[in-house]
Amino acid sequence: MSRSRRRAVPRAATERYIPRWPMLAGATALVLAAAIVGYVGGLFTAPDDARADESVIAVSGVLVQPGAPEESPEPSPEPSEEPTHPAGIDPETVYVLQNVHGDRALDVVQAATHNGAPVHLWDRHDQGNQQWRFNPVEGGFYEIEGVGSGKVLEVPTDAAAPPVATLLTSTGASNQHWTVVDVGGGVVRLVNRATGQALEGQGGAPDNGTPVIQAPDGGHAFQQWRLVPLS
């Protein structure tokens, strides 16, 4: 039995393989080039409003116009400053006023509460007739209020009147206003607004019952008062 022989195919008749990716790449490049040319041409022919819309830029999620001024943040309000008081005086605090010369306290005679009640020096006992509060008024002055009476300390403006300090209902008059002069160490001088004279134990006497009067301000120890806070 004879074997069948496969007929040989001529080499020239074999189909040659030609890769196709160069043609695809070239076609894609042509399409992209046409799209770019069309887009650029559209920019030149588009209306001004359309180009203006495209110039809007998103910054941090907010649309802003190039060249537009940035909004400056509103300044935070400055904290209000608390008023300062000489010698660390606190208007809410009650004080004993203790004379530096002799250490006796400013005392309302017999704890009286009526208008015209006089004041003098007396041993310190911290009762209501030795308690004083400093109430600020305009211009940095103070009323010196007796806690036991609710009345304020004043001196006469008439040069012919006795110079003794007394209590009177507050009227807002300048002879009821006092400048607190800080001497240091919690010590002050009390100078009347109307007369310019200082509060002192009369003649520098330190004894119980010495009248407290106004006299020319000389900075003496008997014109100095130690602020002793009670509350």
Q: What is the pLDDT of residues 23-66, one digit of tens each?
A: 555 556 565 655 565 555 554 554 454 444 444 444 444 444 55
In this structure, the answer to whether residues 52 and 97 fall within a common structural domain is: no
Q: Are 136 and 85 in contact (CB under 8 A)?
A: yes
In this structure, the answer to whether residues 186 and 223 fall within a common structural domain is: yes
In this structure, the answer to whether residues 156 and 222 fall within a common structural domain is: yes
Structural domain includes residue 193: yes
In this structure, the answer to whether residues 40 and 100 fall within a common structural domain is: no
What average pLDDT is seen over the chain? 81
In this structure, the answer to whether residues 57 and 100 fall within a common structural domain is: no
In this structure, the answer to whether residues 134 and 201 fall within a common structural domain is: yes
In this structure, the answer to whether residues 97 and 135 fall within a common structural domain is: yes
Write out pLDDT tens, residues 166-201: 999 999 999 999 999 999 999 999 999 999 999 999
pLDDT confidence tier of residue 217, bands split at 50, 70 and 90: very high
Domain, as residue range, for 46: 21-64
Structural domain includes residue 81: no
Q: How confident is the model at residue 76, as a pLDDT?
A: 65
To the question of pTM greater than 0.75 for the whole model, the response is no
In this structure, the answer to whether residues 117 and 222 fall within a common structural domain is: yes
Structural domain includes residue 112: yes
In this structure, the answer to whether residues 95 and 208 fall within a common structural domain is: yes
Write out pLDDT tens, residues 132-163: 999 999 999 999 999 999 999 999 999 999 99
In this structure, the answer to whether residues 206 and 109 fall within a common structural domain is: yes
Structural domain includes residue 33: yes
Write out pLDDT tens, residues 70-79: 566 676 666 5
**Can you tell me the mean pLDDT for 210-219?**
97
Number of domains in the chain: 2
The pair of structure tokens assigned to 84 is 């300062």
**Can you tell me the mean pLDDT for 94-99?**
98
| CATH number, domain with residue 158 | 2.80.10.50
